[in-house]
Amino acid sequence: MIFTANKSVLACASIFLALAAQTSAHAMPTVALGVKGAPARSDVQRPSTAKPCGSIDPASTLDTSTAVAANADGTVDISVVNFNAGADGSTSVSVQVDATGVGNKFVAGTVKTNGNAKPSKVETDKVVFSLPAGTKCAGGKAKNLCLVSVKTTAGFGACMVVSQGTAAAAPPPPAKTTAAAVKTTTTAAAVKATTTAAAKTTAKATTTTAAAKSTTSAASNKDTTNKAGAAKNQSGATKKKHHHHKGKGKGKGKGTKKGKAAASKSAAPAAKASSTPAAAVKKTMPREVEASRLFLREVIEQLEAQRREYEMDLE
């Protein structure tokens, strides 16, 4: 009987000590909803799904509580203080954000720098979290307040107010680049590059064709002119020869002078025609022009032979 009574006392003592330990295990943000000045152990709440701010009413305290300003990149810097050491005094937290400030539309924020899950002493730790992407705080009279529920790994915490400037809305998430979009862009660029290259090639070919045509035409015209000049010179040389035989005894000096002038005239087209290198002519002239050139060369050679014969007769 005495043993049974002692057992009951020990059980009650254990429960009491556990409750006492839990009562002293407190931590919360240093700037909290409904708290004026520095928080005390008695200000600590136990946030839950049903009551994200514990016993504090957001509707009556949102505009009167001190707000922490969000940074331009959507992050928020806060401090979390504990009132005892150990895991129960954890300053490691998670956050939920309600952009309406009402307290019933919470979305998880992202903790970037967290506190100490098992501090060895009473301390204040820095915590940095970011508002959900695209968050636009619209609570309070100024329509720029967010309500944030801060809860430690030990289950303690409190709500706090975050203010947001007109240009400090949390940046939206980066646009996703899909494989299809990349493929489409790459294909379009390839088509454009191919089209440009084809256009350049066509323009180059057109220019080359026009240049070749112009060169051929010029060569043809030149050969026609040379051919006509050569024929004319041949006719003149023949007439001179007949005239010489007709009156060989008279005006020998005069005939020699005229013969030399005619020979000089005949040699001029030949020199002009032979000034173009044979290799260059072959590259640019079609077969018909090449044939004309060969014919002209034969005519010139004949004229040269006649000129030499004529000079020998004069001597």
Confidence at 17, pLDDT banded by 50, 70, 90:
very low
**Among the ranges given (89-103, 157-171, 242-256, 295-309), the one the predictor scored with the smallest mean pLDDT:** 242-256
Tokens (6 digits) for 169:
């809305």
CA distances from 8 to 17, 19, 21, 22, 64 (A): 14, 17, 20, 21, 49
pLDDT tens-digit series, residues 67-83:
999 999 999 999 999 99
pLDDT at 189: 53
Supply φ then ψ for residue 27, to 5 degrees.
-160, 150
What is the CB-side half-sphere exposure of residue 69 using CA atoms within 13 A?
A: 6
Tokens standing for residue 162: 């975050």
Q: What are phi and psi of 109, to 5 degrees?
A: -90, 175
Other C-beta atoms closer than 10 Å to the C-beta of 215 total: 15
pLDDT surpassing 80 at residue 3: no
- Sequence-ordered alpha helix ranges (H) in 50-121: 58-61
Chain-centroid distance of CA 168 in Å reads 28
**Is pTM, for the whole model, over 0.75?**
no
Under 8 Å between Cβ of 99 and 137: yes
The rounded mean pLDDT for the chain is 73
Q: Determine the angle formed by the axes of helices 287-314 and 179-246, rounding to 10 degrees.
A: 20
With cut-offs at 50, 70 and 90, classify the pLDDT of residue 191. Answer: very low
Distance separating alpha carbons of residues 146 and 137, to the nearest angstrom: 5
Q: Which residues of 23-61 are buried (b: 16+ CB within 10 A; e: fewer)?
A: eebbbbbbbbbbbeeebeeebbbebeeeebbbebebeeb
Q: What is the pLDDT of residues 121-143, one digit of tens each?
A: 999 999 999 999 999 999 999 99
User: CB–CB of 36/65 below 8 Å?
Assistant: no
Q: Rounded to whole angstroms, how far apart are CA atoms 140 and 159?
A: 15
The neighbouring-strand residues paired with 44 are none
Predicted pLDDT of residue 21: 44
